Amino acid sequence: MDTNNKIKENVKQKYGQIAKGELKLEVTPSSCCSCGSNDGKVVFDMSAQYKDSDRAAIPDGADLGLGCGTPAAYADLVEGMTVLDLGSGAGIDCFVASKHVGSTGKVIGVDMTEEMLSKANENKKKINAANVEFRFGEIETLPVDTNSVDRVISNCVINLVPDKQKAFSEIYRVLKLNGKFTVSDIVVDGVISEKERQDAALWAGCVSGALSRNEYIGIIDKVGFNNINIVSEKKYDYKLESGGGLYSFTVTGTK
């Protein structure tokens, strides 16, 4: 099995355990991302606070504390839009988006972890979210038609994807002309060592796959997006072996 597939299998295993409740998340005083160690302890809590009005749309069991932002809040969602959520997990951001697009709109969540999809569909039933659909698939090969969605959102997931240029190329493909993506993710301002890059737990914990801010924006620009803007940013109390820092940011761009 090549390195990329090993990374994906590790991520699927960890997130599958979280979905089934076999891996409990615990924020430690030394505070990394929500599943940054094999025993479920995290180095710091990346989860972001949702507005009260958005939280009212989230059913119990959908918020697993795995995000690092609130992308739907910056996506300019309006009634009737079709929204795609990449790495939708238990469905939290799908349910927030569904409230904004209404009964005439549609939200599609895509995830590669079957246990997460099962949990998301359970959560969907709790609130009878008829305008939400969950699909099995990978971000590099989305099970979504070309030029078919108005908005793409994602919350602390693309850092887990080994081929980020392919991921953003797929986002570009599925968006309609003038469509917009809003992605919350992790970036670094230093060098990640080879040891850190190969650490499976840090991959699942959103650290090992992180790029520098300039690299990340460079990929988005190379794919062909316009109006690229960082609309939110937060620094964490975490240092890489090189001494570099770790940030969450929310970035937008249009096709």
Whether the CB-CB separation of 87 and 110 falls below 8 Å is answered with yes
Q: What pLDDT does 47 receive? A: 56
- The whole-number pLDDT of residue 144 equals 98
Query: What residues contact residue 5 under an 8 Å CB cut-off, 6+ apart?
Result: none
Provide the number of structural domains found in the chain: 1
pLDDT of the residue at 58: 82
Question: What DSSP designation does 193 have?
Answer: P
Running along the chain, 255 residues long, what does each successive block of 10 average in pLDDT? Answer: 58 56 44 41 55 81 75 96 95 96 97 91 94 96 98 92 94 98 88 58 54 92 98 78 76 98
Residue 188's domain comprises: 3-254
pLDDT of amino acid 248: 86
Kindly report the CATH number assigned to the domain that includes residue 165. Answer: 3.40.50.150
Predicted local distance difference test score (pLDDT) of residue 243: 63
Q: What is the pTM of this model?
A: 0.84
Q: Which two tokens stand for residue 145?
A: 């038609």
**Helix H segments across 65-180?**
92-101, 114-127, 164-174
Nearest-angstrom CA–CA distance, 244 and 169: 29
